[in-house]
Amino acid sequence: MLKSVIHARDTWLKSNGYLFPSTATLYIAPFVDEDYEDRLGLWEDMASRYKVAMKSMIPFAKKCISANVELKQLMMEDIVAPPVQVCSLAIHQVTLHDIENIQQSFEFKCYGWNRVHGFSLWFDVEFPGNIILSTSPFTELTHWSQVVLYVHEPFQTVQDTTIKGKIKLEKGKQPRDLAIQLKYAVDDSEMKEQLYDTGYWTTGISAVISPDR
């Protein structure tokens, strides 16, 4: 959507024109998902419900979940560490080059005893007068929800567990797609890497095709 805003700005906005919102800020934080085990347990329950053994599908189901970019409505208690800012963009000055190569390192200090299922992304936009529209899980629900990136293998954290890593957002295959590269390490463990493509979005089980498809 931001590409369309930049195109409209460069094509039609006068030099003294107004553009709202004025800034956009992206955040990332680790999250937990209480529904995750239920989604996998569906395959295990097939035996008792329908007398069909489908437990062997669980590894494939986990692979599918962690391959997709999902939209999910998270609550504040689902976030297990203070969020880190990925980028902040001034809408009057931002260029296509700026948004097609965003990189940011992060370090989280987790709180509590949790099983982390991935990382969540959300944005805030600011209007003149310090008016902020937030899609954060710490504020009222919005139809934007949050973007969630599931990891291949959920991992356990305790108080002050450190998660270090880097996120990279690049131009995807289609005009409005993003290619997301995520690297992370828990405490002193080996760095892991996952790749995501926003060409297809999912909300829970249902697939939502990108607007440009």
Q: Which residues of 1-19 are buried (b: 16+ CB within 10 A; e: fewer)?
A: eeeebbeeeeeeeeeeeee
Query: In which band, very low, low, confident or very high, does the pLDDT at 212 lie, cut at 50, 70 and 90?
Result: very low
The closest of 122, 119, 112 to 142, measured between CA atoms, is: 122
**What residues contact residue 190 under an 8 Å CB cut-off, 6+ apart?**
none
Cα–Cα–Cα angle for 177, 141, 86, rounded to 5 degrees: 45
Q: Any idea which architecture 1-7+18-33+70-209 has in CATH?
A: Distorted Sandwich (2.70)
What is the residue-wise DSSP string for 78-113? Answer: GB-S--EEEEEEETTT--HHHHTEEEEEEEEE--SS
CA dist 27 and 25 (Å) reads 7
Does residue 175 carry a pLDDT above 80?
no
pTM for the structure as a whole: 0.88
Q: Angle formed by the axes of helices 36-50 and 58-67, to 10°? A: 150
Query: What pLDDT shows up at residue 70?
Result: 92
Please give the pLDDT value at position 203.
45
The pLDDT value given to residue 47: 82
CA gap 110, 30 in Å, rounded: 8
pLDDT at 72 over 70: yes
Above 80 in pLDDT, residue 23? yes
Which residue pairs, CB below 8 angstroms and at least 24 apart, start in 73-77?
A: 73/141, 73/145, 73/146, 74/31, 74/120, 74/137, 74/145, 74/146, 74/148, 75/137, 76/137, 76/138
**pLDDT, tens digit, 9 for 90 and up, residues 101-142:** 899 999 999 999 999 999 999 999 999 999 999 999 999 999
Label residue 201 by pLDDT band (50, 70, 90): low
Note the pLDDT tens digit of each residue in 28-61. Answer: 999 999 998 888 888 888 888 888 888 888 888 8
Q: Which residue has the tokens 């209007």?
A: 127
Bridge-based pairing state of the strands 114-127 and 146-157: antiparallel
SS3 content of the chain, % helix, strand, coil (to 5): 20, 45, 35
